[in-house]
Structure 1
């Protein structure tokens, strides 16, 4: 594969977004190479500035401009609808991925001997909300990751039966970087009346997440990974056709059709997904999340994905040349922004430590080095990692 560093100027796909312009939003790049966007991403300056603008507003003007706060909330819902290819009425704003999944898990009317299928390599956010249902007599079944890092439709389907109510998986597995065959699994679920729930935290902001194409009934996510937004804010998508089957878990004044009353209380849930928002939202987080989505949508998610896949393809090829074993499945449709690899002689923790000594940030997961470059990373960034691996 030819070394493309000489053309490392713009996002792939014909975008006119300049990588150097995007990189200028990250002051820390003067000090290190950050390759852990599958963890907690640094905030772009535009996101931090947006959050500061809200804090300055409420400090200096109290609630004089609160209508602008409501507008930013509307903007966020519109941006999320565009990102996911859904209607804004299907979006609820949450605190994090765990809360969104919990709303689904606890909102279903379970019966004894019902079962849920998850994988044995899920991030805990997509495990514990389901395991807690065992107290209600719900069986949790684990589809096991294969030795090559894949989870197939066949693996999942073999566990399903008449009692299967939910299949809940990550679109991209956090340790391996494997992108599951979500479209196939979603179609399998839809044809059998099984609810298909996706944790898209390792995909949104890096890959195209079209809930219609994925055949997803519910999608949960937060902002502080690939979307490069603040912590403490997330979102939940629930398909209109299944919303009535997911009861409201937390009731509050924002859950109902008439939030302001003259003491004439009526427990009537809103007709859309905002029924799952029980009270005042994280306005500062909304400002940051909206700014993060503006940055993402301006670049175009198709271009972002193309850039990330090109970077990681090149990296996988170069790692293999150096004798490293790339664990992440890299066939068409399986790729993500995560590259998981094993060094031929050094343990992952040592590689990560040596990288940190050179101000290159990566992590160890499942005994492997996990690298997660974003679209603003450059080939020169990856060369610094490769130099350490080769030393």
Structure 2
């Protein structure tokens, strides 16, 4: 792929290393670095003199995130991370003994532990499998039993399996089941619409496909279910009349700001506003098309090396994740050698996980495959 010069210049990482780890922690674009550097310089010289301008950046970030997930204005809160947002749901629902939560048996710990922690309240967690011949079938069967809530990752972190969220969302609505989506491996990689999938809750960190820093993410709450969540954190920022420090009585903010209890992470907001702005400038359809092209190209290169791919549905349901292994090799050692050789990737799901983004160049992909080919002789 040949990127336009203005986009290629945003990602110096492609000239510095072979970075295939966006499903873990992504490198920032140049505009995010500049935004943070300018914010730091301003803060050093002027303190919070221009705080109203910082608030505008925070608001721009929210509008960017709402656009990226097709959410109504005011339905997105800024949170520390996906785990915090999942905890807001898990701790905010008025659970009754005997309530059931359905998840899959492939979830990242964040989307398992928060539900298992409800066991003392009598909440049962049911894990179902995601069979390759019909990944949603067992989820749909579990939904038909009318659990209280289903929580699922849009894309499974280890295999890269992309689920049919529209199908799942329709089943949840028909059965009166709350629908929660861990969207961290989807938003910023593929087009994503909370309205199209009929989600009640969705969340993601900014440090993966959104190309931002750790420590800042989003929490979407469908406006019509917002009152069903008890607010579990309180402070000056989450009240309706924020900024009126003399008023003694208070009420919750009427929108998702009620989930933002205190002072915002303005430093990270500047970076994430810049990186999400870049994604919107490029357009998520273009981002997704090139990302999928990169992943399928890598799959082709690795097929020539007899790699075994964890996700047999990748061609039908492409995502940004390509996980593979070799039957006769020490895959843990191979991952270690790849990292030492400058191929930045992860060991997940019993194999090696490559996760390029839309900006990853063909040269990086070719070089990574060449390094892998060379190292196969050493394991």
Q: Same fold (TM over 0.5)?
A: yes
Q: CA deviation at 1:153?
A: 2.4
Structure 1 unmatched ranges of 5 or more: 1-7, 11-17
Q: 2:182 aligns with which of 176, 181, 199?
A: 199
Compare 284-293 and 120-129 and name the one that shifted more. 120-129
Mapped to 2, the partners of 1:331 and 1:40 lie a distance apart of 22
Q: Which residue of 2 aligns with 1:259?
A: 242
Q: 1:83 aligns with which of 45, 50, 68?
A: 68
Structure 2 unmatched ranges of 5 or more: 375-379
Listed as ranges, the matches of 1:208-357 within 5 Å are 208-261=191-244, 263-330=246-313, 334-357=317-340
Q: Is residue 143–residue 175 contact of structure 2 (8 Å, CA) maintained in 1?
A: no
Q: Which residue of 2 aligns with 1:96?
A: 81
Mapped to 1, the partners of 2:175 and 2:259 lie a distance apart of 26
Q: Which residue of 1 aligns with 2:111?
A: 126
Listed as ranges, the matches of 1:164-183 within 5 Å are 164-183=147-166
Mapped to 2, the partners of 1:124 and 1:257 lie a distance apart of 34
Q: 2:30 aligns with which of 34, 42, 45?
A: 45
Mapped to 2, the partners of 1:359 and 1:93 lie a distance apart of 34
TM-score normalized with structure 1 length = 0.91
Mapped to 2, the partners of 1:374 and 1:211 lie a distance apart of 22
Mapped to 2, the partners of 1:29 and 1:85 lie a distance apart of 30
TM-score normalized with structure 2 length = 0.94
Deviation digits for residues 252-293 of structure 1, max 9, x if unmatched?
Answer: 112111234464322311111111111111011111110011
Compare 250-259 and 156-165 and name the one that shifted more. 156-165
SS of 2:32's equivalent in the other structure is helix
Listed as ranges, the matches of 1:374-389 within 5 Å are 374-389=357-372
Say how many residue pairs are matched: 374
SS of 2:152's equivalent in the other structure is strand
Mapped to 1, the partners of 2:198 and 2:40 lie a distance apart of 39
Q: Which residue of 2 aligns with 1:31?
A: 16
Mapped to 2, the partners of 1:30 and 1:311 lie a distance apart of 17
Computed over aligned residues only, the root mean square deviation of the Cα atoms, in angstroms, reads 1.7
Mapped to 2, the partners of 1:95 and 1:56 lie a distance apart of 24
Mapped to 2, the partners of 1:258 and 1:141 lie a distance apart of 41
